[in-house]
Amino acid sequence: MHRRLATALTASTLALVTVAGAASAAEAAPADKPQVLASWTQTSASSHNAWVAARANRSAWTAYAFDWSTDYCSSSPDNPFGFPFSTSCARHDFGYRNYKALGTFSANKSRLDSAFHEDLKRVCAAYSGATKSACTSTAWTYYQAVRAFG
């Protein structure tokens, strides 16, 4: 009888530890939110691509409570002269909104604006000649606007 009781208590304790451990792991996941956010807001193409993949699978990131909302390029055209800047603007909004929510916007604004400019230049890299020049000039204008008014 004592042996069955001890076995039952051991099993119950292990189950409780397993459940508590799983809860702790789930609660600990968002502790790396600043690192995840930083990895998605760098100037590199790999950072951009990782953010695009995460955005396409937002449900996997629910525990992080990221703000995915966007107004794209605000009051500026999302696709000026046919250049598809909307994804770049959405990633820029993502960085701004989430760093503001963490209270670390000021320390990251310059990098976010630089990442935006790099994203726009990657869009422009798909063009050549005068079209590329026009795109690059438009990208520069958008970048200067966010630096000054963003």
CA angle 46, 49, 51 (to 5 degrees): 110
Q: Which amino acid would we find at residue 36?
A: V
Which candidate in 2, 48, 92, 117 is catalytic?
A: 92
Distance CA 105, CA 76 (A): 22
* Residue 94 to residue 67: CA distance in whole angstroms: 7
Residue 149 CA to residue 36 CA, distance in Å, equals: 26
Catalytic annotation present for 92: yes
CA distance 78 to 85: 6
Catalytic residues: 92
